[in-house]
A and B are shown apart, each in its own frame.
Chain A
Amino acid sequence: MARIDNSVEDKQVKAKYAGDTQPVEPTSVLLRELVAHLRQSRTQLREEWASRITEAQLLTAMTKDEIFAEATSVYDNYVEALETGTFEALQAYARNLSERIIPRGVETHEVVGIVLLLRDVLARSLFAKYQADFTKLNRILDAYEPAANRIANTVAVGFVQERERIIREQQEAIRELSTPVLQVRERLLILPIIGVIDPQRARQLTEQLLRGIRTNRAKVVVIDITGVAAMDATVANHLVQTVEASRLLGATVIVTGLSPEIAQTIVNIGVDLGKMNTVGDLQGGIEQAERLLGYKVVPLTATS
């Protein structure tokens, strides 16, 4: 992150106010002056900000005490960023804050909203302080505005990046949840698939299954797709490839639970149905698998 280039602004300030009779202060001095003012008026300005947040009905997911605590941290970080001109600390704080408030249901527009409100509250305070000297007020704002905009940007971007990171994590978690490979008998695996299968998930499924076949030395696998509403031709092809790859590892695959739509898709893509071993439902599939493995299930007491 680059520091604000004060030397360029100093020249601009000098050029802008060349006609002034008063000496021109460099931006760095102005910044120090406004930071001192913001620190002095901290209590009052923070309170004003907090009440404006409530007025605008932002952060409704948080209690008043929580808003106050966060407001304090944000204010202090804000002023520090103005003072130092560096934004790493602010970025780190923004990410940390986001990590905490996103699970509470705080939205992007709320975070952007409160930062902009703080910007306004501080700007108004500067107007009030320097209202007698319009020229000086302009110079103060020249120093304040770029920094304030940078801060708003940093916080908003930090929040959004954190949200995206969480979404990616959740997507990964959902993927892993949905494809367990389960052993239900010696040499018999079940793969129950639920939800939407996209090509990436289909590929992951195949890899998991093949590894499962090798680890469990499975001879029969029942893939149940009752929980899959629809499948496009690409994914149906993946399924067929999974069956073929499993055979190369010496395992027979039985597919169960095909919906009418999926059955249609499979017929449409022209799969050689002689190669697809399918049974209506999971129960039927397990029963057939047991027969293939040489099991016979009999009740413990014969009913006569």
Chain B
Amino acid sequence: MEVPILKQGDVLIATVQEALTDADLLHLRTALVKQVVRCRSRGVIVDVTSLDVMDSFASRTLRDIAYMIRLRGAEMVIVGIQPEVAFAMVQLGLKLEDVATALDLEEGLAHLKHKIESAV
């Protein structure tokens, strides 16, 4: 399952539409980093609104993506974590430390805008 990645100015938006297999997640990681390089993006949003479940592999991979993207000078924000998913994640100890999170796409874009402008 290929995750669509859209470009909006300096920002890439990857919208996860259904549960991803481990292979899908690794593919997403490769694709996102490639795109960041190709488009010289300053920010990445990963929208997980449609995910009902977040397991430890998904959580670790998303963190890896955030770190890799940061090495390319870009910021990543995860948006749309559902309340039930957030609750389950903290109970399992999956904290997504050092990764920025926001409520939804609008908030995520506002966060990135602020971050990008203040980095100049």
Contacts and interface: CB of A to CB of B under 8 A. Distances in A.
Interface of A: 206-207, 210-211, 213-214, 217, 219, 241-242, 244-251
Contact of A214 (B91, B95, B101, B103): B103
A248 B89 contact: yes
Given A207-B83, A244-B95, 12 more contacts: A207-B87, A211-B83, A213-B103, A217-B107, A245-B83, A245-B86, A248-B81, A248-B86, A249-B101, A249-B103, A250-B103, A250-B104
Contacts of A207: 83, 87
Contacts, number: 50
Contact of B90 (A213, A217, A219, A244): A244
Contact of B81 (A217, A219, A249): A249
B49 to A, nearest CB: 11
A265 to B, nearest CB: 19
A186 to B, nearest CB: 13
B79 interface: yes
Contact of B87 (A206, A219, A247): A206
A142 B47 CA distance: 77
Interface string B88-100: 0111000110000
A217 B103 contact: yes
Q: Which of B81, B89, B90, B107 has the most CB of A within 10 A?
A: B90
State the 7 A-B residue pairs at the shortest beta-carbon distance, nearest first: A210-B83, A250-B102, A250-B103, A245-B86, A248-B86, A241-B90, A244-B90
Contact of A210 (B86, B102, B107): B86
Contacts of B91: 241
Interface residues of B, number: 18
B102 A214 contact: no
Contacts of B107: 217, 219, 250
Nearest to A218: B103
A206 B90 CA distance: 11
Nearest to A211: B83
A234 to B, nearest CB: 12
A248 B96 contact: yes
A237 B34 CA distance: 40
Given A217-B107, A241-B91, A247 B83 contact: no
A241 to B, nearest CB: 4
B88 to A, nearest CB: 9
Nearest to B103: A250
A262 B104 CA distance: 34
Contact of A250 (B82, B87, B101): B101
Nearest to B54: A248
Nearest to B83: A210
A249 B96 CA distance: 12
A247 B95 CA distance: 9
